[in-house]
């Protein structure tokens, strides 16, 4: 039997016959093949170099690696068998190490740089020109423009940063702290929560993990207990990570300066859509002033709830540890949105039908389910995407929780789009979700939040599947980090629009369409606290940017002093004394001058969706425009140019501000 990881062009993967040995063999063989391909590229004389034998060959090598690595990465998180998952995880580590080797291969850099100096290279246009430019830049951002001794210095910094980052994350994940409370102190929490947290001695143990922390802050009637839990939560890893964070910031600045940048933010943002820290600062500062108007309205509304609750009109402020509690009372009393009742209108089968109807109509394609497919679990569904009866893509839906399965929702790329000879490699991807399983009595009923998540991830899926890019390296979601969430966030809007909802939001028993009254409550509740929420995101983004663009880690101001200063300046909640939130803010390690991209993508996505609002949210002409200009192109042209071309103008914040209730 042939190894399921190696197939002829556009052959379907035989997941049912995957074995540990096939994973081992595929890993070894694909890395070995890639090394041979690299040797051929490197060995060419400069006079013989062409786009075909250097750059396209490099993309071919990447494509061959990706096809195996992506499939193995998926199975590491979804395969039901422990031995296969464990082997896949080992293989991911091997691939990761090899990708690092490629990025630090001096001979490959010289080969690409040598080609860049040729006459043919100087005449490249479009995607090919962009691919060459970005490949050279990636190598040089790894230090290849530096002399040997400086590269050695960079490697020492990189190794230290890697160790510090691992330690920073490990200290957060291994941090253990809790609050022990009496029956009286846990008043307000639901019975199932109490049962899960009750100890043998009758006390309750509240830990720092989300399922424990979030409901407590929302329901606990004990202000003192919420204050103390918040204090502990904002001190996660504070005993270890404050010094580590300082060393990370010092190391990043050293790295940036060595590579010729003024700050780490300048280094980090250069190859993203924003291009420069100045553009990010303009974005954050402009938004901050406008959003503050809505945030102050939200704060006033919340303050009235607090005054009524404690029966004291003289109270003039809300503490950070009180916000979630009073927000929940506001939602229950004023907006009366019953999420349990709402779920009855979102049966999973109906939601899938609606999602498919909308996508097929807007993008001019059809989805056909393949019966009895070869899949990793019998619950997985498999579809082919066709346009005018021609097969153009494939996708899998893995919808329900399983033991040891990835426990969030995500789109996993599997096979990238790519032109191979005269044919096109059919892109393949999967959505891995964890929606409620149907029971004997009740079908799978989704919260509206789950519906929104499904639409979001389907947006990523369409970006991967509808690509027409000729090079795998520029196909689908291989776009700038601050652009990749745009198509997915655009797609969330169909989960909120009433015209779209009437296509699929039907009561699972009666078939009644979601009443307009209930939809109005959904929309009203959506914007409760939206200004306060966005200000908080601006605070996180500004803190991250300040650390990496305007902060001297060797100076006299501590990281905590900066947190206090920015929180009091930007948000409407005062800084909680004796806390060190930054020590447990894992995104400072992961995003590193990139946290802004969450809001950045959302503002652009809302602006782009406004084109549908103006022309009709089911307008196929606009849907095809989104497909042709945004989804098909991947990263073949500059992302900001894609946005401007779709809008037919410069982007702005108006639609975003309207969406949050301004």
Domain of residue 151: give its range: 146-175+239-270
Mutual orientation of helices 277-310 and 597-615 as an angle, nearest 10°?
A: 80
Residue 359 lies in a domain: yes
- 476 and 388 housed in the same domain: yes
Q: Which two tokens stand for residue 146?
A: 């530096």
- 223 and 360 housed in the same domain: no
**Measured between alpha carbons, how far is 650 from 617 in angstroms, rounded to an integer?**
21
**Measured between alpha carbons, how far is 377 from 81 in angstroms, rounded to an integer?**
10
- 351 and 442 housed in the same domain: yes
Looking at 104-261, list the stretches that DSSP marks H as alpha helix, in order from N- to C-terminal side. 106-116, 119-122, 126-139, 148-174, 191-197, 210-219, 223-233, 238-258
**Measured between alpha carbons, how far is 466 from 479 in angstroms, rounded to an integer?**
14
CATH number for 373: 3.40.390.10
Q: Which two tokens stand for residue 28?
A: 């070894």
Residue 571, CA atoms < 13 Å, CB-side half-sphere: 27
Which sign does the torsion angle of CA 242, 246, 248, 249 carry? positive
Output Rg (C-alpha) for the chain, integer angstroms. Answer: 26
- 498 and 393 housed in the same domain: yes
Parts of the chain with a pLDDT under 70: 1
Distances, alpha carbon 433 to alpha carbons 18, 119, 158, 355, 436, in Å? 22, 50, 35, 15, 10
Q: Given 70, 253, 457, 632, which residue is catalytic?
A: 457
**Measured between alpha carbons, how far is 591 from 603 in angstroms, rounded to an integer?**
19
**Measured between alpha carbons, how far is 220 from 215 in angstroms, rounded to an integer?**
8
**Measured between alpha carbons, how far is 382 from 56 in angstroms, rounded to an integer?**
31
**Measured between alpha carbons, how far is 197 from 190 in angstroms, rounded to an integer?**
11
Residue 291 lies in a domain: no
- 365 and 226 housed in the same domain: no
Q: Are strands 178-181 and 204-207 parallel, antiparallel or unpaired?
A: antiparallel
> Do the beta carbons of residue 275 and residue 137 sit within 8 Å?
no
Residue 508, CA atoms < 13 Å, CB-side half-sphere: 19
Q: Which pLDDT does position 265 carry in this prediction?
A: 98
- 167 and 197 housed in the same domain: no
Q: What count of other Cβ atoms lies within 10 Å of the Cβ of residue 385?
A: 24
**Tally of structural domains, the chain:** 4
- 245 and 360 housed in the same domain: no
- 190 and 82 housed in the same domain: no
> Do the beta carbons of residue 246 and residue 556 sit within 8 Å?
no
> Do the beta carbons of residue 419 and residue 90 sit within 8 Å?
no
Residue 510 lies in a domain: yes
Residue 512 lies in a domain: yes
Q: Which two tokens stand for residue 318?
A: 């809300």
Residue 69 lies in a domain: yes
- 61 and 105 housed in the same domain: yes
Residue 411 lies in a domain: yes
* 228 exposure class (CB count in 10 Å sphere: 0-12, 13-18, 19+): middle
Residue 448 lies in a domain: yes
Q: Which pLDDT does position 412 carry in this prediction?
A: 97
- 406 and 514 housed in the same domain: yes
- Render pLDDT for 529-577 as a digit per residue (tens, 0 to 9): 999 999 999 999 999 999 999 999 999 999 999 999 999 999 999 999 9
> Do the beta carbons of residue 197 and residue 205 sit within 8 Å?
yes
Nearest Cα residue to 597 out of 274, 124, 119:
274
Active-site residue, 457 included: yes
- Where among 94, 121, 141 does a domain terminate? 141
Residue 628 DSSP label: I
Which sign does the torsion angle of CA 306, 311, 314, 315 carry? negative
> Do the beta carbons of residue 263 and residue 277 sit within 8 Å?
yes
**Measured between alpha carbons, how far is 583 from 579 in angstroms, rounded to an integer?**
9
**Measured between alpha carbons, how far is 150 from 33 in angstroms, rounded to an integer?**
32
Nearest Cα residue to 356 out of 398, 376, 384, 377:
384
- 257 and 189 housed in the same domain: no
Q: Which pLDDT does position 429 carry in this prediction?
A: 98
- 63 and 118 housed in the same domain: yes
Q: Which two tokens stand for residue 198?
A: 């009750």
> Do the beta carbons of residue 604 and residue 486 sit within 8 Å?
yes
Residue 530 lies in a domain: no
């Amino acid at each position: 039997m042939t190894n399921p990881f190696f197939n002829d062009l556009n052959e379907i993967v035989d997941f049912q016959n995957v074995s540990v040995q096939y994973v081992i063999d595929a890993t070894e063989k694909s890395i070995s093949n890639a090394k041979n391909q690299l040797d051929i590229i490197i060995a060419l004389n400069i006079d013989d170099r062409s786009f075909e034998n250097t750059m396209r060959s490099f993309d071919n090598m990447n494509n061959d690696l990706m096809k195996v690595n992506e499939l193995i990465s998926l199975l590491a998180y979804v395969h039901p068998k422990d031995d296969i998952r464990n082997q896949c995880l080992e293989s991911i580590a091997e691939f990761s190490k090899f990708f690092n080797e490629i990025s630090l291969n001096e001979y490959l850099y010289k080969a690409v740089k040598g080609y860049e100096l040729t006459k043919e290279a100087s005449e490249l246009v479009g995607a090919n020109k962009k691919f060459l430019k970005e490949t050279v830049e990636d190598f040089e951002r790894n230090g290849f423009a530096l002399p040997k001794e400086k590269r050695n210095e960079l490697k020492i910094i990189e190794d230290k940063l890697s160790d510090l980052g691992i330690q920073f994350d490990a200290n957060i994940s291994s941090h253990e702290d809790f609050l022990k409370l009496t029956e009286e102190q846990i008043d307000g929490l639901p019975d199932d929560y109490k049962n899960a947290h009750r100890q043998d001695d009758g006390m309750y143990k509240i830990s720092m993990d989300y399922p424990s922390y979030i409901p407590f802050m929302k329901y606990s009637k004990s202000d003192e207990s919420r204050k103390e839990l918040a204090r502990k939560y904002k001190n996660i890893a504070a005993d270890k990570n404050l010094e580590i964070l300082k060393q990370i910031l010092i190391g990043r600045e050293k790295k940036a300066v060595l590579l010729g940048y003024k700050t780490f933010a300048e280094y980090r943002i250069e190859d993203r859509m924003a291009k420069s820290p100045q553009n990010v600062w303009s974005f954050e500062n402009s938004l901050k002033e406008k959003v503050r108007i809505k945030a102050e309205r939200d704060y006033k509304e919340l303050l009235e709830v607090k005054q009524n609750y404690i029966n004291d009109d003289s109270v003039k402020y809300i503490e950070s540890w009180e916000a979630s509690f009073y927000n929940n009372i506001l939602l229950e009393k004023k907006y009366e949105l019953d999420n349990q009742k709402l779920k009855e209108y979102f049966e999973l089968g109906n939601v899938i039908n609606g999602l498919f109807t909308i996508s097929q109509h807007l993008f001019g394609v059809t989805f056909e389910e393949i019966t009895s497919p070869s899949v990793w679990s019998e619950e997985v569904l498999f579809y082919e995407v066709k346009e005018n009866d021609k097969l153009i893509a494939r996708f899998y839906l893995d919808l329900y929780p399983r033991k040891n399965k990835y426990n969030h929702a995500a789109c996993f790329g599997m096979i990238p789009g790519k032109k191979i000879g005269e044919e096109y490699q059919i892109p393949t991807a999967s959505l891995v979700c964890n929606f409620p399983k149907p029971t004997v009595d009740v079908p799978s009923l989704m919260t509206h939040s789950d519906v929104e998540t499904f639409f979001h991830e389907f947006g990523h899926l369409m970006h991967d599947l509808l690509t027409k890019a000729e090079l795998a390296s520029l196909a689908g979601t291989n776009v700038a980090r601050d652009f990749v969430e745009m198509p997915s966030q655009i797609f969330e809007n169909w989960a909120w629009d009433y015209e779209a909802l009437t296509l699929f939001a039907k009561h699972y028993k009666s078939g009644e369409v979601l009443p307009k009254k209930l939809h109005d409550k959904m929309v009203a509740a959506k914007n409760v606290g939206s200004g306060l929420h966005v200000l908080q995101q601006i605070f996180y983004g500004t803190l991250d940017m300040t650390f990496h663009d305007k902060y001297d880690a060797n100076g006299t101001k501590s990281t905590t002093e900066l947190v206090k200063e920015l929180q009091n300046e930007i948000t409407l909640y005062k800084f909680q004394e004796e806390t060190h939130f930054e020590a447990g803010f894992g995104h400072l390690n992961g995003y590193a001058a990139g946290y802004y991209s969450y809001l950045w993508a959302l503002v652009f996505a809302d602006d782009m969706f406004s084109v549908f609002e103006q022309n009709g949210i089911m307008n196929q002409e606009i849907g095809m425009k989104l497909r042709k200009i945004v989804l098909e192109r991947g990263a073949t042209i500059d992302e900001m140019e894609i946005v401007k071309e779709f809008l037919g103008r410069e982007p702005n914040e108006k639609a975003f501000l309207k969406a949050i209730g301004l």
